[in-house]
Copies of this chain bind each other. A is one copy, B any other.
């Protein structure tokens, strides 16, 4: 028993393929009699229009892709990304769009982009965004970049990364800390923070700015950067590593709450008191941050809002290819809690 097609229904109902198509897409064009007859036959044979064929013809998939910088398992572990997804979902609901998660294929985003059957892309915190942009443009597909460096002529949604990082570090140094470990996010420029781009770059800049105001700097002996896998375990490992050395910081500034929370766990295990022995501040304000003990000071960024805004921007472009590209920057906010 091979696949039932529109053709089968047409024959069986004694009408043309056009009519069958109408029955599903523009029922109002059909007389009630034929409509019900067609639907009846379709139900009998268990027919439904093939979405792929339909996609090909209409050049629409009803589906937007989120281009992920890392494999799905890593992404799913990051609460902040999930909050972003929440916003995306909210914006998609009204338009009945589905969301395709597009991680790198065999390590290559290029492949992944070229194979994804979607109407448009959201890119999330790309490092290699120059190259990726190229591929996206080549596919001639609308896209909105989130957490990358703004680019002329392309819609971008960002948060005030530098301002937030400045606020975090300022908070720390203004409390007198002068021995500071920064838990960074491991990236393609591993070991070379000077080569950072996008979000990472701006955050480092913000940290540097606040450090500079008290005569410190990342090159300095007393300010150290560790680049971690961006999950709880990454932060956990980082703290243990830091504490295994002779040099101990009096404060830890993490580029993500997940890292801070991991560090907190390690600290607890090692009997290191937070905030007495080490002050700790994160970035993101994920929902766990207010729940942990001690509660985590952090920089709140509107992750969900970011997802929502990026998605509505994309949808606008989807509907009107000539919509003006937007550059949007969302505000962040220092949240002081117990960990600092």
Contact = CB atoms under 8 A, between A and B. Distances in A.
A53 B105 CA distance: 20
A62 interface: yes
A211 interface: no
A321 interface: no
Nearest to A118: B51
Contact of A52 (B52, B88, B90, B96): B52
Nearest to A114: B48
Nearest to A66: B101
Nearest to A78: B82
Interface string A233-265: 000000000000000000000000000010011
Contact of A100 (B46, B63, B138): B63
Interface in A45-77: 46, 48-49, 51-53, 55-56, 59, 61-63, 71-73, 75-77
A305 interface: no
A191 to B, nearest CB: 26
Interface stretch (A15-23, A222-230, A287-295): A287-295
B291 A116 contact: no
A107 to B, nearest CB: 10
Interface string A104-125: 0110000010111100000000
13 contacts: A48-B138, A51-B116, A52-B52, A52-B59, A52-B117, A72-B88, A73-B89, A77-B82, A79-B82, A89-B101, A89-B103, A96-B105, A100-B100
Interface of A: 3, 46, 48-49, 51-53, 55-56, 59, 61-63, 71-73, 75-77, 79, 82-83, 85-90, 92-93, 96, 98-103, 105-106, 112, 114-117, 138-140, 232, 261, 264-265, 287-288, 291-293
